[in-house]
């Protein structure tokens, strides 16, 4: 899906604004609605900025604000919000030109400034403040730098840029407050599939790398190396196969060994090598191994 790879809409808007603004600057396009009867520019004026300073400020705002809003909304809702904001802001800007042309508002600068300010209102309402600080006693927050960029964009071409920014903030308020019930509209699945097929290869994907579920994946490599080597142990083979401790099994095997020695006539030779342990040694081992019987301790001391 086109809407499942990082933040494709925000990245696509930044790329599209840069390319169209450069193209408009190269061909020196000067639109005029009433003189040239180019009313279709009411919709297309959102595609390109008229100068590089506005483009730089808008790109910075899209990078800071657009990523957070697309993360909060999801790409499908973010695309729907962008389209609705563009249509409503176009209608309101046209009404502003008609109503305010007598006081000098006869020009709206090109570029998606209204859409950017509509995103800025959502960012103001959804994203919390991270930290506060003071400059010359004035309390500020981490959002102050973003607001400073937005203020420069709003005051770039007064009064037209100021009207466009106010329209964008008002559109964001309308979308947030659900006054016209435009919040539930979504882009059709057909448009999503077409975007996934044709636009995603142009924008690119930023799918995050797959992470291991193990906290220390190098342990798997170490275990593999140890699995190919021979395991050396000091436990007797019978204990390794059965996995039982050397308690009653050792005592039983010693009794069988003594019985076999009596049958084979090796008791005399064994008795010659058997030493008599002292009571101190027996007491010391008994305190060290309280669960071991006295006979096993005496037999062990005799074979030293």
Residue 169 reports pLDDT greater than 50: yes
Choice among 20-34, 106-120, 128-142 with the minimum mean pLDDT: 20-34
CB-based contacts of 40: which residues, under 8 Å, 6+ apart?
none
Neighbours of 304 (CB within 10 A): 8
Helix, strand, coil percent content, the chain, rounded in steps of 5: 65, 5, 30
- How many angstroms separate the Cα of 143 from the Cα of each of 123, 132, 262? 10, 9, 94
CB-based contacts of 197: which residues, under 8 Å, 6+ apart?
2
Three-state DSSP state, 134: strand
Q: What is d(CA 296, CA 254) in angstroms, rounded to the nearest whole number?
A: 9
pLDDT band at 270 (very low <50, low <70, confident <90, very high): low
Which pair of tokens denotes residue 74? 């999801």
pLDDT band at 78 (very low <50, low <70, confident <90, very high): very high
CA dihedral of residues 83, 85, 90, 94 (deg, nearest 10)? 160
Which pair of tokens denotes residue 240? 């390794």
Choice between 248 and 17, residue whose per-residue pLDDT is larger = 17
Mean pLDDT of 176-191: 86
Q: Is the distance from CB of 184 to CB of 89 less than 8 angstroms?
A: no
Q: What is d(CA 118, CA 193) in angstroms, rounded to the nearest whole number?
A: 26
Q: What percent of the chain has pLDDT over 90?
A: 29
CA dihedral (287, 293, 296, 299) positive or negative: positive
Residues counted in the chain: 304
Choice between 27 and 30, residue whose per-residue pLDDT is larger = 27
- Please give the mean pLDDT across all residues of the chain: 78
**Cross-strand pairs, 133:** 140
Choice among 45-49, 188-192, 234-238 with the minimum mean pLDDT: 234-238
pLDDT band at 35 (very low <50, low <70, confident <90, very high): low
Q: What is d(CA 155, CA 165) in angstroms, rounded to the nearest whole number?
A: 9
Residue 263 reports pLDDT greater than 70: no
Residue 4 reports pLDDT greater than 50: no
Long-range contacts of 281-286 (CB under 8 A, 24+ apart): none
- How many angstroms separate the Cα of 37 from the Cα of each of 25, 31, 34, 40, 93? 21, 9, 5, 9, 17
Residue 173 reports pLDDT greater than 60: yes
Choice among 32-41, 90-99, 223-232 with the minimum mean pLDDT: 223-232
Q: Is the distance from CB of 175 to CB of 77 less than 8 angstroms?
A: no
Q: What is d(CA 180, CA 174) in angstroms, rounded to the nearest whole number?
A: 7
Backbone angles phi, psi at 291, to 5 degrees: -85, -5
Residue 223 reports pLDDT greater than 90: no
**Cross-strand pairs, 89:** none
The pLDDT value given to residue 141: 93
Which pair of tokens denotes residue 239? 């204990």
Q: Confirm whether pTM is higher than 0.85.
A: no
CA dihedral (132, 133, 139, 140) positive or negative: negative
CB-based contacts of 99: which residues, under 8 Å, 6+ apart?
none
Q: What is the DSSP code (8-state) at residue 298?
A: H
Residue 200 reports pLDDT greater than 80: no
């Amino acid at each position: 899906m086109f809407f499942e790879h990082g933040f494709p809409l925000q990245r696509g808007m930044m790329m599209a604004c840069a390319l169209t603004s450069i193209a408009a600057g190269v061909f020196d396009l000067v639109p005029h609605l009433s003189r040239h009867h180019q009313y279709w520019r009411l919709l297309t004026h959102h595609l390109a900025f008229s100068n590089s300073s506005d483009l730089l400020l808008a790109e910075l705002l899209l990078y800071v604000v657009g990523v957070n809003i697309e993360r909060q909304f999801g790409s499908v809702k973010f695309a729907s919000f962008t389209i609705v904001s563009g249509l409503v802001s176009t209608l309101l800007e046209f009404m502003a030109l008609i109503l305010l042309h007598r006081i000098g508002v006869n020009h709206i600068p090109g570029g998606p400034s209204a859409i950017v300010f509509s995103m800025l209102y959502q960012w103001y309402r959804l994203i919390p403040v991270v930290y506060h600080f003071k400059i010359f006693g004035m309390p500020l927050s981490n959002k102050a730098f973003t607001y400073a960029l937005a203020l420069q964009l709003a005051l770039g071409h007064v009064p037209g840029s100021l009207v466009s920014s106010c329209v964008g903030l008002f559109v964001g308020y309308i979308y947030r407050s659900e006054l016209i019930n435009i919040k539930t509209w979504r882009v059709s699945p057909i448009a999503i599939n077409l975007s996934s097929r044709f636009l995603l290869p142009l924008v690119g994907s930023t799918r995050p790398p797959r992470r291991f579920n193990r906290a220390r994946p190098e342990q798997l490599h170490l275990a593999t190396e140890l699995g190919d080597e021979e395991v050396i142990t000091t436990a007797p083979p019978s204990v390794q196969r059965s996995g039982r401790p050397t308690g009653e099994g050792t005592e039983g095997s010693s009794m069988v060994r003594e019985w076999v020695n009596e049958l084979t006539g090796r008791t005399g030779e064994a008795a010659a090598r058997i030493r008599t342990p002292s009571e101190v040694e027996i007491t010391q081992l008994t305190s060290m191994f309280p669960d071991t019987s006295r006979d096993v301790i005496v037999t062990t001391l005799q074979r030293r």
